[in-house]
Amino acid sequence: MQLFDTLVKYDYEQVVFCQDQTSGLKAIIAIHDTTLGPALGGCRMWTYASEEAAITDALRLSRGMTYKAAAAGLNLGGGKTVVIGNPKTDKSEALFRALGRYIEGLHGRYITAEDVGTSVSDMDLIHQETRYVTGVSQAYGSSGDPSPVTALGVFRGLQASVREVYGSDDLGGKTVAVQGLGHVGYDLSRQLHEVGAKLIVTDISDTMVKRAVEEFGATAVAPQDIVAAECDVFAPCALGAVISDDTIPLLRCKVVAGSANNQLAEERHGDLLHEMGILYAPDYVINSGGLINVADELEGYNADRAQKKVEGIYDIMRKIFAMSRELHIPTYQAADRMAEARIAAIKQVRSTFLPVSRSLLHRA
């Protein structure tokens, strides 16, 4: 990897390499863009195959957080931390407190949170060294499990998607195929059931599938069959890269809208969906409820305020679909353009206002 070439190509601001010999900490903090505000992004702990793979993941994820925060209308930028290590065997108080000191040293340019391989208790350890952390335990003012709020955002985005295709956001009688019944997928299924949607579900856990069948009257299918299920909406709520050369020919839906990250295996698959007349709800927008919720903690968490902001995903999706129609571009491109336009506008405001401010100070 030519690191600086990559930083220049995608305009990254800063990469911090964190090492602590005593605790065994090896981590990378990537800050992509702070135009809109401090960079916020989770702390991921993983057994990376190489240091280069860890750096690549930190860069990719931090840039994704910039777009997610911008599209969600948050005054936050994008960042990410990756810790190289086995989350089952390598965690310690010393490791996370050492990381907390590195985060504190950034003086608020970056705020961390829970992510893959880390937990609320890990965030509490980081919190002992810095206030620049969210997703801590509720004793410290956290909002708690973000899954129900994330599911609410996906539900509202799904309603907006159905309205775009069918002319009404009424989900009663619509068939939704939910791939994955984890915390978000299961709660989404509950909300869909409550408004009269018909559910087709699958999961690698037979227990979760059985529960959905019993509680929601869902129809169960094998994991390999869910993509080809005949439905109005296909909702990927498990692994990423589910929309690929192999799966697109199997789709029998009009809408793809779910909580999974990185649903498109490649950007061109978003182009293919567009050409086929299948509406795609950009994943980093429709699943941004968790980020919106945790960002509210920075203001002193208020559940009603956070829920109102998450409900706004409906209107954000409507704007993306309108841009897609007007410009004749795929929805994923419309989402990117909307995020980029917001960042560019604020960057222009700052570039024109700051010199004036400084000149006034000099005159004074």
Helices then strands (H, E): number in the chain? Answer: 13, 12
Region 3-140: CATH code: 3.40.50.10860
| Every domain of the chain and the residues it spans | 3-140, 147-338
- Locate tokens 């619509």: which residue? 174
Same fold, 3-140 and 147-338: yes
Confidence of residue 354 (pLDDT cuts 50, 70, 90): low
Residue 40, classified by CB atoms within 10 Å of its CB into exposed (0-12), middle (13-18) or buried (19+), is buried
For residue 159, the model assigns a pLDDT of 98
Q: pTM of this prediction?
A: 0.88
**What is the DSSP-derived secondary structure letter of residue 131?**
S
Bigger pLDDT: 180 or 116?
180
How far apart CA 350 and CA 99 sit, in angstroms, is: 32
Report the relative pairing of strands 14-20 and 25-33 from DSSP bridges.
Answer: antiparallel
Does 358 have pLDDT greater than 80? no
Catalytic choice (26, 68, 80, 254): 80
Q: Is 68 part of the annotated catalytic residue set?
A: no
Does 364 have pLDDT greater than 50? no
- Dump pLDDT digits (tens) for 129-180: 999 999 888 877 777 778 899 999 999 999 999 999 999 999 999 999 999 9
DSSP for 147-181 reads HHHHHHHHHHHHHHHHHHHHS----TT-EEEEE--
- Locate tokens 């159905």: which residue? 162
Task: Please report how the helices 147-166 and 289-296 are oriented relative to each other, as an axis angle in degrees rounded to 10.
Answer: 140
Bigger pLDDT: 300 or 213?
213
Report the relative pairing of strands 219-220 and 198-202 from DSSP bridges.
Answer: parallel
For residue 355, the model assigns a pLDDT of 55
DSSP for 312-324 reads THHHHHHHHHHHH
Which CATH superfamily includes the segment(s) 147-338?
NAD(P)-binding Rossmann-like Domain (3.40.50.720)
- Dump pLDDT digits (tens) for 19-58: 999 999 999 999 999 999 999 999 999 999 999 999 999 9
Q: How high is the mean pLDDT of the chain?
A: 94
Does 362 have pLDDT greater than 60? no
Q: Hey, is 12 helix, strand or coil?
A: coil
